Amino acid sequence: MTASGAPRASGLAGRGALVTGAAQGIGAAVSRALAAEGARVVLADRNHPAIQRLAEDLRGCGHDATAVPLDVRDSADVERAVTAAEAAVGAVDVLVNVAGVLTTGPAVNTGDDAWAAVFDVNAGGVFRCSRAVARRMVPRRRGVIVTVGSNAAGVPRSGMAAYAASKAAAAQFTRCLGLELAEFGIRCNVVAPGSTDTPMLRGMWSGPADQDATLRGDPDRYRVGIPLGRLAQPDDVADAVVFLASDRARHITLHDLYVDGGAALRA
């Protein structure tokens, strides 16, 4: 609220925003939410047809949206995509790192290639994209970087060692980056979702009973359920991202915001 009692504006109208992993799930929801706030959104993903369709839908609703293909595993491609983004919308004032992959299975059965592949996207992608955008933000002395992590970064998960470790690495990198960039007025934060109704989550399920098991928890795997008794929707996560990207969060940096219905039992 302002001194007059009126709600404070988000400050996102007209700002350039780059969203990785924008083709579906949380990335698509974040893109829509930023566009609804008036941001000029660049949708980035390896799935170019999907982001082109989303960009067309957003433009059809009167929003400014551009699709840029991106492979976050390739530093040269990241630089090309960020350059293309700034050519399309001007300065990228907001970067949202959403691109991620999930591999499950016992840690002792995880091969070197599988481990490296998960880290290359979930941690390496955050590093490459944040580095490229931050280098451009520093001379402008403004900007926001939000990394979408996971509550698995802070809570051990059986069968998810590579994923959890990669998300922990991405979260800690984002906080360290935020410490280095604070003097330039650049904020870096993490949003950590729990179980969210996305294609990634549903890909882990074998049948309808799996949703109930996710809500109840699994004592045999030392996993608690979700106290609020519901799965997150992508929009729940997107709302948290938009808040941290906005001027309403202008004094928040190095923060890790859990959006998991209480599943991590955070103190």
The CATH number that applies at residue 57 is 3.40.50.720
Instruction: Tell me, yes or no, whether 103 lies in a domain.
Output: yes
pLDDT digits (tens, 9 = 90+) for 90-149: 999 999 999 999 999 999 999 999 999 999 999 999 999 999 999 999 999 999 999 999
How far apart are the C-alpha atoms of 194 and 205, rounded to whole Å? 15
Instruction: Tell me, yes or no, whether 142 lies in a domain.
Output: yes
Q: Residue 33, Cβ neighbours under 10 Å: how many?
A: 24
For residues 92-129, one letter each, b for 16 or more C-beta atoms within 10 angstroms of the residue's C-beta and e for the rest, the string is bbbbbbbbbbbbeeeeeebeeeebebbbbbbbbbbbbb
Tokens matching residue 92: 């990228």
Instruction: Tell me, yes or no, whether 129 lies in a domain.
Output: yes
Instruction: Tell me, yes or no, whether 2 lies in a domain.
Output: no
The whole-number pLDDT of residue 130 equals: 99
Q: Check residue 230 and report its DSSP letter.
A: S
Q: Check residue 233 and report its DSSP letter.
A: P
The secondary element (H helix, E strand) that includes residue 170 is helix 161-181
Instruction: Tell me, yes or no, whether 1 lies in a domain.
Output: no
Query: What length does the chain have?
Result: 267
Report the catalytic residues.
163
Q: What is the span of the domain harbouring residue 116?
A: 16-258
Instruction: Tell me, yes or no, whether 160 lies in a domain.
Output: yes
Instruction: Tell me, yes or no, whether 263 lies in a domain.
Output: no
pLDDT at 248 over 60: yes
Bigger pLDDT: 224 vs 256:
256
The whole-number pLDDT of residue 46 equals: 98
Instruction: Tell me, yes or no, whether 245 lies in a domain.
Output: yes
Q: How many domains does the chain have?
A: 1
SS3 for 200? Answer: helix
Q: What is the mean pLDDT of residues 200-218?
A: 69
Edge-to-edge strands, sheet with 16-20? 65-69, 40-45, 16-20, 92-97, 143-148, 186-193, 256-259
Return all residues near 263 (Cβ < 8 A) that are at least 6 apart: 151, 155, 194, 195, 224, 225, 226, 227
